[in-house]
Amino acid sequence: MRFFVTGCAGFIASNLTDGLLALGHDVTGFDNLSTGRIEFLCEAKRNPRFRFVEGDLLDAVRIAPALAGSDFVFHLAANADVRFGVEHPTRDLHQNTIATMNVLEAMRETGVKRIAFASTGSVYGEAEIIPTPENHPFPVQTSLYAASKLAAEAFIEAYCEGFGMQGYIFRFVSILGERYTMGTWSISIGSCASTRNGWTCSATGSSVNRIYMCRTA
């Protein structure tokens, strides 16, 4: 298959890119290198089935030419840092919601029908039940980051309904691993240790499949 991966130079998407290539797929990666690092793509760039496009998703006209011919979009590019939202009140809106809208429009324009989106467990705010089930009611939003991701989810749902697309929404909880660049390992490992027994995953089927992964204590 031919995959289009946004944010391909970032922590999660660069690992995803390597995984897709290892499975024998073609990958076009798109990234503006704002928080991503080109060295994370060293291995991918040695693979003839990988193509890197340096570009900004807010520069909407750049997306469709890069996306055309893809079978599936993994949309992971974002301002992934939940901190500092109130210091930059429009950043999450632009990087997370409008960038997603631009990806969806490019998909509509080029006839690409399937998208997987990296959302966040933060949409549940200060959830009262831990581990938080997928159908937990949404409390008041507690960050501009989560609000922007929830809006992006809504656009994906509406595009699925309106234009016959298929969406997969993953609400990640804190992920750690090789190439992680935010925060400090000492704090992260400390908080990880108490809840490191693995992941549960639940999914519901519809035109939009929501997949929520949460740690089990």
d(CA 118, CA 175): 12
- The Cα 106–Cα 60 span in angstroms is 8
80 binds ligand NAD (CB under 6 A): yes
Nearer to ligand NAD, 27 or 162 (CB): 27
> Quick check: 208 and 160 in contact, CB under 8 A?
yes
| Whether 6 contacts 74, CB under 8 Å | yes
Residue 168 bears catalytic tag: no
Residues 102-121 that bind ligand NAD (CB under 6 A): 118, 120
Kindly tell me which residue out of 68, 101, 158, 175 binds ligand NAD, with binding defined by CB under 6 A: 175
> Which range touches ligand NAD (CB under 6 A), out of 42-50, 60-68, 131-139, 173-181?
173-181
Q: Name the residue type at position 140.
A: V
What is the x/- site pattern for ligand NAD, positions 16-45, by CB under 6 A? ---------------xxxxxx---------
- Please identify which residue in 76, 147, 151, 156 interacts with ligand NAD, judged by CB under 6 A: 76
Considering only residues 42 to 71 of the shown chain, the ones binding ligand NAD according to CB under 6 A are: 56-58
> Catalytic residue among 145, 159, 168, 180, which?
145
Annotated catalytic residues are: 145
* Interacting residues toward ligand NAD by CB under 6 A: 7, 9-13, 31-36, 56-58, 76-78, 80, 95, 99, 118, 120, 172, 174-175, 181
